[in-house]
Structure formats: C-alpha cells, structure tokens
A and B are shown apart, each in its own frame.
Chain A
Amino acid sequence: EDKVVQSPLSLVVHEGDTVTLNCSYEVTNFRSLLWYKQEKKAPTFLFMLTSSGIEKKSGRLSSILDKKELFSILNITATQTGDSAVYLCAANKAAGNKLTFGGGTRVLVKP
C-alpha cells in the first residue's frame, strides 16, 4: 500500500527562525514529489521534484528530494507570520497520475 508520512505533525517557531519539514514516501511507480501550502482553504502549489539532489528554490522556501532514501525536505528560512499554514507533501505515481498525500505539518510562526 502506498504511504506518505510527514513529520513533525506540528511545530511552533518565532519569526526569523528556520524550519525544516520532512516527508518520507513508499510509493510504487514513483514519478515525483509535490509540496503544497494550505491556509484554511485550498492547497496552493509550491514545488514539484523529480530528480534527486537538485534543490528547488522560491524566495525563502527551498526543497530537495532523495530518491535513494525516499524522502524530501522543505526548508523555510527567516520565517514570517504569513508562513503559518499546513504544509502538505504528495507523491505522484506514474500510473494514473494519482497523488498520495501525507497528513501534513502544521506550522505556526509567532511574532
């Protein structure tokens, strides 16, 4: 059975801190790993990773994939209160383009 596990479940940090979110997966016919940010509404797309070791960056957010160890991390540097959200990762299968989601990590950034 396909499985995606995110850790930690939740964390609380102060503005300016750096956070690292983890996502491990066990998915047959793995194609890619996607990260989303969800703030009380629909998830918004952050990154899609297909190759190991290649970091993707967008402002203060960055992510990397390790296909040998079957995990990905999402880093947020110099956190701001607007980064408070649930971060979801999902593994995409080659067959059917289905996504299997992890349970999410809830991040709260305090001023």
Chain B
Amino acid sequence: DGGITQSPKYLFRKEGQNVTLSCEQNLNHDAMYWYRQDPGQGLRLIYYSQIVNDFQKGDIAEGYSVSREKKESFPLTVTSAQKNPTAFYLCASSVWKGSSYEQYFGPGTRLTVT
C-alpha cells in the first residue's frame, strides 16, 4: 500500500521546545517537500529536497530545519526560533509524468504550540 505517511496527526508542544515532524514515503519519489498552511490560506513552501543529502530553502524557511539522509524520509524540525509555529504542516513528494511533475500530499500534522 504505497503512499506518504506523516506522524503524528496532532502534536502539542510548549513554547521554546523544538519538535520534529515525521514524513515517510514508499513511492520511490526523488523529490520531497514541506509546506505550512495557516487557517483560510494557501500552502507556503518551507523546504524541499530533490535528491538524498540535498535540500533547499523554500519561501519561509526561517525557524525550520530538515534532513534527507534516506530517499524515503524527510523529517522537519520546528525550532524555538520559529515565531508562529502553530499551523497545519503538509509533506509532499513528486513524480515526473512525462511533461511535468505531479505532487502528492501526506495527511498532514496539526501542530499547536502554547
């Protein structure tokens, strides 16, 4: 059963603590992405990785860090430096479809920091 899994579904943390969100895919996709979605808004790109051991900052990378040690895994750490960490976090991976990439999403992690 192929897909993208994110855990946990809901996460609660105290302000000042770092927290790591998990993202795993068994689709054999090369590229993976992290987005953040705030209520009533579209998705904003945090980080993306096109191949193992390589990743680039997206539009809102400040306060976040990632690693890509394995093709299947792309964990996101929300650090205490992120000013407004409470949000819905979505992981995605993409596959080439002949003329462009199609991107698919995991179920998301809703992070609440108090």
Contact = CB atoms under 8 A, between A and B. Distances in A.
Interface of A: 4, 31-32, 34, 36, 41-45, 48, 50-51, 88, 90, 92, 96-104
A97 B94 contact: yes
Given A42-B105, A42-B106, A97-B31, A92 B100 contact: yes
A35 B88 CA distance: 19
Interface SS majority for chain B:
strand
A96 B50 contact: yes
**Which of A4, A41, A51 counts the most chain B CB atoms within 10 A?**
A41
Given A32-B100, A34-B102, A101-B42, A41 B58 contact: no
Interface residues of B, number: 25
Contacts of B107: 41-42
Nearest to B42: A101
B77 interface: no
A88 B50 CA distance: 23
Contacts of A4: 42
